[in-house]
A = this chain, B = another copy of it.
Amino acid sequence: MAAKQNDETAEGGTVGKALSVLDQVAAFGRPVRFSELLERSPFPKATLYRFVQTLVGQGMLAFDAERNAYALGVRLVRLAHTAWQQSSLAPVARPHVDQLAALAGETVHLAQLDAAQVLYVDKRNAAQPIEMYSSAGKVGPAYCTGVGKAMLAFLPEAELAPILAQQSFHVFTPTTLTSEAALRSELRAIREAGYAFDREEHEPGIICVAVPILNAGARPLGAISVTSSTARTSLAALEALAPDVQSAAETIARDAEAWRFPNEIKSNERAGV
């Protein structure tokens, strides 16, 4: 129950600074030269240099000698494989995601909340062979996506408030919600209905129904959605799928609970309230 709040999310520690370099490299999205990194870095040359050396030595960055540029290292891919398996719903949810995709004949997304953003952890496109890693790992805004709103709607106020404060409310389309107040009233409606829509709020022409995946304590673990386009279908037609999405979400939640205990703290269960 430690009420411990480590605010210094990135300060003070050498480790944090080094990791921030990783983010920087990631931000470029391509192999990057030392000097390019240096320009945008708060660190002096020698310091940045040592960080980069360390990270390369650690396999977190890869140095391409031909181009002499740095890219994210494969150790990350390896770690992420484990991370994805152990701290995401995806492995548990897969069969249900498959089933829902087949049933709906539309794209299905599985997402979780990462800080104030939506992190897509799986995706299934009924039509064509998948394209997974390309979307697993992607992040999106929470305030204007179906899955994002579905999760926010079921978050306790104490956690919701700081997250809402971090939303950009950038206007992507005419229907994007542009204020915390508007979003809050939308969340109320979602809580009531049990499912959320994306009414072309993020991308024009793209609509979806999303349902939160709630654990036994009604805490949102993630969300699942069926996405389509206005060209192919309507919100009303998607709404008809809501019960299917909900039943998928419930099954996933059940499986997720079941999954937690087998390979778990086998020793005594503390009184745990």
Contact = CB atoms under 8 A, between A and B. Distances in A.
B29 A82 contact: yes
B119 A78 contact: yes
Contacts of A74: 83, 87-88, 112, 114, 119
B88 A83 contact: no
Which secondary structure characterizes the binding site on chain A?
Answer: mixed
Integer count of this chain's copies in the complex: 2
Contacts of A33: 265
A58 B10 contact: yes
B22 A79 contact: yes
A55 to B, nearest CB: 7
A194 interface: no
A10 to B, nearest CB: 7
B82 A6 contact: no
Contact of A57 (B6, B18, B131, B133): B6
A67 B16 contact: no
Given A81-B138, A260-B67, A54 B87 contact: no
Which 3 residue pairs across A and B have the least CB separation, nearest first? Answer: A81-B137, A80-B80, A72-B83
